[in-house]
Amino acid sequence: MSRRVTSRGGGGPIDSPLVHDEIRYLASEAKVAIQSLSRHKTDEAGVLMGVRQFGASEQSKVMLQRENEAALFAQDVGLYVVWRNESKPGSDFCARIGPSHRCFCGHTLSSHNISGLRPSRLPSCTACSCSAFLYVPNEPEEIGEAWLSRRSNWVPGTWRLKCMCGHSCDEHDPKRPYSCRSCRKCFGFEAQMRCVVCDGAFADHVTIIETANERKLASRPTGTAFEPLHGIDDDVRSNVLHTNPRERLALMQPTRQQMQPPPTALEPRHLKLEGRAPPARAEAPPVVATAVRTICSKCGIIFKTPGNFCTHCGAKR
């Protein structure tokens, strides 16, 4: 509140250096407040401006690095695992799911039977009795509780989504109806949360496995367009995705050949009875990868210029 300096005789305000100093102080405070508002914008332009000026937070780097692994995993195996709000027709995904993302049972996708990954068939867990991978938000930022990870005693990787009974998801039975194993009053997991992407409830979301053709028919991005920060300038991507996801991804995922079921050679019965040999089956032409890699497989740097070798480490592209 500003002070009014009056004359001793009770007249009107008089010119005083104290008043001018206070006006300058209030003006500087208002300027700081305006700058703070522009710094904390939540639209795309404001977020990009903040990343360029102040850099990305460590927690956001961890989350986007997992999603980047999920995008590369999808390109390698040809299957896209996403967490989607089915109550909103036409929506794509609220989270890309890769080998590092945790299931309802508490184990990661890499701990599930990835070699048996098929469209519309969620893999079972190899570490517990979980019969199908069910994604739950892995970080508090996904449900709008980013303040939790800023605490001084925050331990990364320990947060779990909680049920209304007060117990975490991995304290519930990993099979339907997901009853609680720590209390007797809960007969099914019910999370009181809202997704930060779509503002939907936990019950509105499902875990889905799609092929590239299914996503193309639905006009959804595939390949490099499925990667996080696609279309953003290289400076922002280099700031956020600064590590090489291939190092961990190579240890977690199976190859496309391992995931394909073995071919069954069915011999025509009428040819066998007539004593004639069945015609030779034409071998399928080898699959040639046509996607252009935008990230170096050795050092993880994002390619900014064309060429056959990485300008950072010299590895062949």
| Per-residue pLDDT tens digits for 110-154 | 999 988 788 878 999 999 999 999 999 999 999 999 999 988 888
pLDDT band at residue 279 under the 50/70/90 scheme: low
Is the per-residue pLDDT at 225 higher than 90? yes
In this structure, is residue 34 part of a structural domain? no
- Cα distance between residue 172 and residue 186, in whole Å: 9
Query: What does pTM read for this prediction?
Result: 0.64
In this structure, is residue 293 part of a structural domain? no
In this structure, is residue 133 part of a structural domain? yes
Which domain does 171 fall in, by range? 47-147+159-255
In this structure, is residue 2 part of a structural domain? no
**Long-range contacts from 170-179, C-beta under 8 angstroms, 24+ separation:** 170/104, 170/105, 170/106, 172/104, 174/103, 174/104, 174/105, 174/125, 174/128, 174/129, 174/130, 174/131, 174/134, 175/129, 175/130, 175/131, 178/104
In this structure, is residue 101 part of a structural domain? yes
**Total domains in the fold of the chain:** 1
- Cα distance between residue 285 and residue 280, in whole Å: 15
In this structure, is residue 109 part of a structural domain? yes
pLDDT band at residue 34 under the 50/70/90 scheme: low
